[in-house]
Amino acid sequence: MTSLWLDAHDPSRIPVSDLPVGLSYDVAVAGGGLTGLATAVAVARSGKRVILLEARTVGAVATGNTTAKLTVLQGTRLSTIRRRHSLEVAGTYLAANRDAQDWVLELCARHAVPVQRRAAYSYATTAPGAQSLRSELETARALGLDARWEDTTELPFPITGAVALEDQAQFDPMEVLGALAAELHSLGGIIVEGARLTGANRRGPLTLTTTAGEVRTDRLVLATGSPVLDRGGQPLRMVPHRSYALAYRVPAAGWVPRGMHVSVDGPVRSLRSAPQGDEELLLVGGNDHVTGRTESPRAQLADLHDWALELAPGAERTHSWAAQDYEPAGELPLIGALPGSEGTILAATGYAKWGMTNAVVAALAIAGSLDDRAPGWFATLNAASGGLGSLAQEATMGAQVGKELLKGWTGAELHALPEQAPPEGQGVVGRAQGRPVAVSTVEGRTCAVSGVCPHLGGVLRWNDAERSWDCPLHGSRFAPDGTLLEGPAVTGLGPVQP
């Protein structure tokens, strides 16, 4: 499953280097998504020596698989934050997101990245959904946004109402990463791909261990999605949510939206267009679920495809892909120094699928803090979110994770591994030699690997859509041969003789 953006991306546009030997840096950034590249550029603009270490390739995880709507109208985010915190905090979140949106648009203009200016819509299909939208509209207006109510929109199905905001934007996220990488390179920054951060001492100057060698740096920024190296804190305060995106070529008179739409009722649906040559493709996203906790991801993908064909009969699917983002317990992004690191290790995460702005919020906050010039909104945002300083764990999240942990181990202990290899495209976890073992068959190759997540011991589940092993606890994911794909783990799954 490859996204529209990664499929069209030319990897030679990213100026990568081998890891230089013997150099030290002011700031090392782990992670080559939007958070990592925007942070590296913002830091390098102030004259610091920066190295960016990416475990896989730039954009390989969430950013290259997003739907890339750059909007400050984000479903019912503002009213949710207002309810949870206050109007002032919602206003601060909006101010930060507006600054980030301006920063991205300015970057795109400077680097000639194509951007389509579009209206954003949050829409409802139920009466309670419309009620939530009324509350969103009221909050948006109270904060000075020029949002409006619509009874009907261009959507080709009945709705119970929508909130609209003009002049938002959409783009190809790999084009944005390409522009950031070019700017970082021109500022003397270094990008190393295939360099997974595996460890760091907790106090500066830091020595980092990576799969490409050691790196010395004064500061480290974890821009790794769920922060790696943080074994007890942030992964426990967030829930990893995975969802699908599909791109379609529609028949001549077929329907493609002009605006960018997101539903506020479940199951969440996201719609936009994507220019490709002379054509406008239809992009459909949705069927969000907690990573590793759905019975059949394949069935979810098929369900989304069926829904898309109802909108655009006869449409031809060109791409399908999936990605995950992290929902923070307190609804606000988590940005700041890791506990116990004396300010030398910073991290940013928890964007709740609104990272096109919030990744840049994090970049501006982190780069500003390093120069004691943090943006005005950061102190309020940080105080309200608890930053990364608090190890407080949301009771409900902890309880759910505990339940999943128990369920996984009990299930694996009860079932011995079947003697037959699983059929093509399937995987199974069972007991072998007293421990959970994960066996799968993909493209004719049967692999047996440890069935236990190396992060904090979750028992893995088979993802039949993406053919991966997914952890139901904090969202680490692994290829059938055990290679680490994403999440807070830093090692893969070892091979096992079943």
Ligand X SMILES: Cc1cc2nc3c(=O)[nH]c(=O)nc-3n(C[C@H](O)[C@H](O)[C@H](O)COP(=O)(O)OP(=O)(O)OC[C@H]3O[C@@H](n4cnc5c(N)ncnc54)[C@H](O)[C@@H]3O)c2cc1C
Kindly list the residues in this chain that would bind ligand FES in the complex (CB under 6 A): 235, 453, 455-458, 471, 473-476, 487-489
Q: Which of 193, 230, 211 is nearest to 64 (CA)?
A: 193
Residue 287 or 441: the one with the smaller Cβ distance to ligand X is 287
Q: Name the binder of 67 from ligand FES, ligand X, none, CB < 5-8 A by kind.
A: ligand X
Question: Considering the complex, what minimum distance in angstroms separates the CB of residue 309 from ligand FES?
Answer: 35
Residue 228 or 262: the one with the smaller Cβ distance to ligand FES is 228
Question: Considering the complex, what minimum distance in angstroms separates the CB of residue 311 from ligand FES?
Answer: 35
Residue 243 β-bridge partners: 323
Residue 161 β-bridge partners: 124
Question: Considering the complex, what minimum distance in angstroms separates the CB of residue 453 from ligand X?
Answer: 14
Q: Name the binder of 451 from ligand X, ligand FES, none, CB < 5-8 A by kind.
A: none
Question: Considering the complex, what minimum distance in angstroms separates the CB of residue 286 from ligand X?
Answer: 9
Angle at 426 between CA 422 and CA 432, to 5 degrees: 50
Residue 359 or 384: the one with the smaller Cβ distance to ligand X is 359
| 407 contact partners, CB below 8 Å, separation of at least 6 | none
Q: Name the binder of 385 from ligand X, ligand FES, none, CB < 5-8 A by kind.
A: none
Tokens at 75, concatenated: 């479903």
Residue 55 or 370: the one with the smaller Cβ distance to ligand X is 55
Amino acid type, 14? I
Q: Name the binder of 336 from ligand X, ligand FES, none, CB < 5-8 A by kind.
A: none
- Distance between CA 310 and CA 414 in Å, rounded? 43
Q: Which of 23, 31, 7, 25 is nearest to 362 (CA)?
A: 31
Residue 14 or 496: the one with the smaller Cβ distance to ligand X is 14
Q: Which of 67, 72, 117, 115 is nearest to 283 (CA)?
A: 67
In a 3-state reduction of DSSP, which class is residue 90? helix
Q: Name the binder of 474 from ligand FES, ligand X, none, CB < 5-8 A by kind.
A: ligand FES
- Distance between CA 445 and CA 273 in Å, rounded? 38
Question: Considering the complex, what minimum distance in angstroms separates the CB of residue 127 from ligand FES?
Answer: 38
Q: Name the binder of 184 from ligand FES, ligand X, none, CB < 5-8 A by kind.
A: none
Question: Considering the complex, what minimum distance in angstroms separates the CB of residue 108 from ligand X?
Answer: 14
Residue 91 or 454: the one with the smaller Cβ distance to ligand FES is 454
Q: Name the binder of 264 from ligand FES, ligand X, none, CB < 5-8 A by kind.
A: none
Q: Which of 17, 54, 14, 13 is nearest to 33 (CA)?
A: 54
Q: Name the binder of 458 from ligand X, ligand FES, none, CB < 5-8 A by kind.
A: ligand FES
Chain residues binding ligand X by CB under 6 A are 30-36, 53-56, 60-63, 66-69, 196-197, 223-225, 228, 243, 245, 285, 323-325, 351, 353-357, 359, 490
In a 3-state reduction of DSSP, which class is residue 147? coil
From start to end of 268-402, where are the E strands? 269-276, 279-290, 316-328, 334-337, 345-349
Residue 69 or 474: the one with the smaller Cβ distance to ligand X is 69
Q: Name the binder of 462 from ligand FES, ligand X, none, CB < 5-8 A by kind.
A: none
Question: Considering the complex, what minimum distance in angstroms separates the CB of residue 424 from ligand X?
Answer: 27
Angle at 170 between CA 168 and CA 172, to 5 degrees: 160
- Distance between CA 42 and CA 46 in Å, rounded? 7
Question: Considering the complex, what minimum distance in angstroms separates the CB of residue 380 from ligand FES?
Answer: 31
Q: Which residue is nearest to ligand X (CB)?
A: 355
From start to end of 181-268, where are the E strands? 190-193, 197-200, 206-210, 213-222, 238-249, 260-263
Tokens at 174, concatenated: 């790999």
- Distance between CA 152 and CA 486 in Å, rounded? 40
Residue 290 or 421: the one with the smaller Cβ distance to ligand X is 290
Question: Considering the complex, what minimum distance in angstroms separates the CB of residue 359 from ligand X?
Answer: 5
Residue 91 or 451: the one with the smaller Cβ distance to ligand FES is 451
